[in-house]
Amino acid sequence: MDCRTSGRPILPAHAARLATRCTGFDAQFAAPSALGPLDWLPTTPAARAAASDVDPPARPEPPHPPGAVPLRALKPDVALQLLQQSGHPGLPGEPMSDAWLQALVDALVDLSSRDALTGLANRRSFELALAREIDRVARSGEPALLLTLDIDHFKKVNDTHGHAAGDVVIQAVARALAETVRPMDLVARVGGEEFSIVLPNCPAAFGTQVAERIRQRVARAPVAIAPGESVSVTVSVGGAFAPQWVRTTARIWMDRADLQLYRAKSEGRNRCCLEPTAVPLVSAEEKGLLFASSSFQDFA
């Protein structure tokens, strides 16, 4: 695979995908600074193919993680072009120094983890964050809330005003969500007009209050889509708490939140619906996960 661009512009919407293919980064490596010495980089099969034209090393390579390629296989010119096309302000330090390379690694991982239109976390980042939160809740018993949101009647916006206006609406909603939550919360765009928010350590007593604050923040600010023209935007919100001290799965947690989102839509939209209790009934699958490795398995 040839990752050179031959001078052709790279559309921002494709930048994250190209960053993964051409430089070997995968968003699952969410903390690049913790990868260890900069001798090796995580990669995809496509990136290994892209690096196949690198001259063989003059000395035996040290042991490296499976699925990695030498750092020398990174194509800095391609990586820099990707960052420039995405609007990155530039890298600190002397080019090709350790600090500069680490900054390049960090910037590429960040690029491959974000939604190109909104700058929010993308679906891969969201799923990784969800898995980490499930593990934390199962170990600590602390509460966590998952919210799913849909922009109401979004198809009508696209059909009436065009897709460019639809993009403006999505960006405006994304900004409103990011401005309303805490720094520790993760806001992600997971679909066309669908967003998800992971709120760690959010007690049940505050769940509805948080969801309502988000809904009201979106509803009270019309979105300007053209000079002198604006549209009113609302969202429907569904929410579910992760069962404490129980190792659930991302699919079960998302299904519970989606069920509440469906209820909010069926009851008229522009409203919030959360599970009535912070500790829902444990499903058969969650019960199996709970007792799978336990000495009490016979009692399951």
CA distances from 199 to 4, 35, 137 (A): 40, 27, 12
Per-residue pLDDT 10s for the chain (300 aa) are 444 444 444 444 455 555 555 544 444 433 444 444 444 454 444 444 444 444 555 556 566 666 565 666 778 888 888 888 888 888 888 888 888 888 888 888 888 899 989 999 999 999 999 999 999 999 999 999 999 999 999 999 999 999 999 999 999 999 999 999 999 999 999 999 999 999 999 998 899 999 999 999 999 999 999 999 999 999 999 999 998 888 889 999 999 999 999 999 999 999 999 998 654 455 556 556 555 544 434 434
Give the pLDDT of residue 87: 82
Give dist(CA 188, CA 177) in Å, integer: 9
CATH topology of domain 123-274: Alpha-Beta Plaits (3.30.70)
**Structural domain boundaries in the chain:** 123-274
Give the pLDDT of residue 58: 57
Determine which one of 61, 94, 133, 193 is catalytic: 193
pLDDT digits (tens, 9 = 90+) for 74-99: 788 888 888 888 888 888 888 888 88
Give the pLDDT of residue 289: 56
Nearest Cα neighbor of 26 from 103, 95, 110 is 110
**pTM of the full structure:** 0.69
pLDDT digits (tens, 9 = 90+) for 218-227: 999 999 999 9
Does residue 193 carry a catalytic annotation?
Answer: yes
CB 18 within 8 A of CB 85: no
Give the pLDDT of residue 167: 97
